[in-house]
Amino acid sequence: MGLFDFFKKKETAPEAQEALDKGLEKTKDGFFNKITKAVAGKSSVDDEVLDNLEEVLVTSDVGVGTTLKIIKRIEERVARDKYLSTSELNFLLRDEIQLLLSENNSNDFRQFEYGDHKPYVIMVVGVNGVGKTTTIGKLAHKLKEANLKVVLGAADTFRAAAVDQLKLWGERVGVRVVAQPMGSDPASVAFDTLQSAVANGEDVVIIDTAGRLHNKIGLMNELGKIKQVMQKVVPNAPHEILLVLDASTGQNAFEQCKQFTEATDVNALAITKLDGTAKGGVVIGISDQFKIPVKYIGVGEKINDLQLFDKKEFVNSLFK
């Protein structure tokens, strides 16, 4: 069974949708308050409304580049249709954002399967404080509930707190954690984790890594070494390099994404803490700017509040 199928099976659509709606409340409220002000006193979409809308999108952390794309598309629709009322603007904006996300995320996670990879290896990267270890714990919980055997590797050996936190999640979720003393070589931890996963016939390995954005060369070397060592045990590992970003950091999340994508081959994104911020627009902007699929979103603190990202549901919830 694919991971997406499991998410849908365990969380009935109403439960998942309710969590998503609640998680996006702050973003939605801020977004629509700004749009209401942008069109105040106007009956049709003119240049002034478009200028105001551009400001709304930028200040909602959609990002300048993505905002300009959206505005250009709406301008083309206005020119083609000759007249658009401001009441139609929300529907038009929703459609254009959905279209943009569809273009950027060619991967359709409804079909996500592990295929022939066993163990399937996920290396998780991201700066400290973005919810990296919590995301790993919640993901391990989802996978374990799908009857997959999961093992976690505590390769963030620079902070004792990181190893301890991962061990706590392991205990809470009921999955094995491979760890070494603080200061150990992260690549050695990753090697041990994969070796034991192969020996135990485990399905999924999730490797936590240090959340330091030191100089890019150091980061590249460290992550590169971890990858090389893992490939001695499992060729082509890691199959997924998951970058965790905190939505509440807004534009700073763009910079972190830039740094990590230059340092390693990130092929999936998890955007956390959407429930605690009005900056949910970063999901749209980061997806567009970096052409990397957003795979998971965190919409709350509960253990089940990690969801597979569904672009249509996300945008519908934002405009509900």
Binding-site annotation: residue ranges for GTP: 126-133, 208-212, 272-275
- What integer pLDDT is reported at residue 214 of this predicted model? 60
Element (H, E) at 154: strand 150-154
Q: What is the block-wise mean pLDDT of the chain (320 residues), using blocks of 10 residues?
A: 46 74 88 83 87 91 93 90 80 89 63 66 93 94 88 92 95 97 94 97 95 75 94 95 94 92 92 89 92 90 89 86
38-44 long-range contacts, CB within 8 A, separation 24+: 39/86, 39/89, 42/86, 43/85, 43/86, 44/83, 44/84, 44/85, 44/86
Binding-site annotation: residue ranges: 126-133, 208-212, 272-275
- What integer pLDDT is reported at residue 111 of this predicted model? 35
Pairwise CA distance, residues 115 & 200, whole Å: 19
Helix spans in the chain (H): 3-10, 13-23, 25-38, 47-59, 64-81, 89-104, 132-145, 160-173, 186-200, 216-231, 251-263, 282-290, 311-318
Rounded to two decimals, the pTM is 0.90
- Do residues 236 and 121 lie in contact, with contact meaning Cβ atoms separated by under 8 Å? no
CA 218 vs. chain centroid, Å, equals 24
In DSSP terms, 206 is beta-bridged to 122, 152
- What integer pLDDT is reported at residue 105 of this predicted model? 58
**Structure token pair of residue 46:** 């003119």
Element (H, E) at 178: strand 176-178
Pairwise CA distance, residues 89 & 217, whole Å: 46
- Do residues 55 and 38 lie in contact, with contact meaning Cβ atoms separated by under 8 Å? yes
- What integer pLDDT is reported at residue 9 of this predicted model? 45
Pairwise CA distance, residues 191 & 157, whole Å: 14
Sheet containing 294-298: which strands, arranged edge to edge? 176-178, 150-154, 204-208, 120-125, 240-246, 268-272, 294-298, 306-308
- Do residues 105 and 287 lie in contact, with contact meaning Cβ atoms separated by under 8 Å? yes
Q: CB within 8 A of 89, min separation 6: which ones?
A: 35, 39, 45, 49, 53, 74
**Structure token pair of residue 189:** 């931890």
Burial class (CB within 10 angstroms; exposed 0-12, middle 13-18, buried 19+) of 47: exposed
- What integer pLDDT is reported at residue 215 of this predicted model? 67
- What integer pLDDT is reported at residue 64 of this predicted model? 93
For the chain, list the domains and their CATH numbers: 13-103 (1.20.120.140), 120-310 (3.40.50.300)
- What integer pLDDT is reported at residue 320 of this predicted model? 80
Q: CB within 8 A of 49, min separation 6: which ones?
A: 38, 39, 42, 86, 89
Q: CB within 8 A of 93, min separation 6: which ones?
A: 35, 53, 70, 74, 319
- What integer pLDDT is reported at residue 116 of this predicted model? 67
- Do residues 204 and 120 lie in contact, with contact meaning Cβ atoms separated by under 8 Å? yes
